[in-house]
Each structure stands twice: as structure tokens, then as C-alpha cells.
Amino acid sequence: MIRQEQCDKVCRILDNYLYNRPTERDSLIVAVQKAFEALEGSKWVLCSERLPNKFEDVWVTDNRGRVAVCHRGHSGWRDAESDDWMYHLDSIVAWMPYYVPEPYQEGEH
């Protein structure tokens, strides 16, 4: 929770500093949020504490223990690949950022 408070504080500072440059402001705030999410690693975030941004692909787990990659729409969760409705908003209990690993480079272990 400390990281979320730190992220919020940095975002408020950026918001105040860049108030007259909305394009830069929005980009930087999203970048800061993503950076703090990356610091959290692969920890589940309870939906009761915080929801991901709409239309952002994330890993989700439902109340039956199933895991999928989805994004939150206006009235539910959609499958990230097919864009089909998957879950009602209240059936997802936790989520974590979705990261695509860098491709393997020859010579890496």
C-alpha cells in the first residue's frame, strides 16, 4: 500500500507541475502508474481495493479460481484476445498487470 501512496503523490506532483500541458501530463502520469505497477511485480490486487484502467489488458482471477487475460469494459470484463464478454464486474476478485516478456535473444540463459 505504501507504493500506491507514493505513486499517488508523484502523480499529484506531476499533475500540478504540468497542468497547462495536458498531453505531456497524461502521458507522464500513465508512465508513473505503470512504473509503480512494475515495482509491485506479480502481486494480485484486490478489486475491492483498486481496479485497473478501463480497456487495459490485465491478468484476472474470478471467484472460482480461474485465471484469464481480460480488460475491464463499461459493464464487465472482456477476453483480451477475442474481445468477447467473459465476466460480470463483480465476479472478478483480483487482478495483476499483464506483462509480455521480452523475446529470447541468442546467448541469453
In this prediction, residue 27 has a pLDDT band, given cuts at 50, 70 and 90, of: confident
How far does Cα 17 stand from its chain's mean position? 24
Assess contact for 68 and 58: CB atoms under 8 A: no
pLDDT of residue 94: 92
Residue 95, CA atoms < 13 Å, CB-side half-sphere: 26
**Arithmetic mean of pLDDT, 11-31:** 73
Question: DSSP 3-state assignment of 59?
Answer: strand
CA terminus-to-terminus distance, the chain: 34
Model confidence, pTM: 0.55
Q: Is the pLDDT of residue 96 over 60?
A: yes
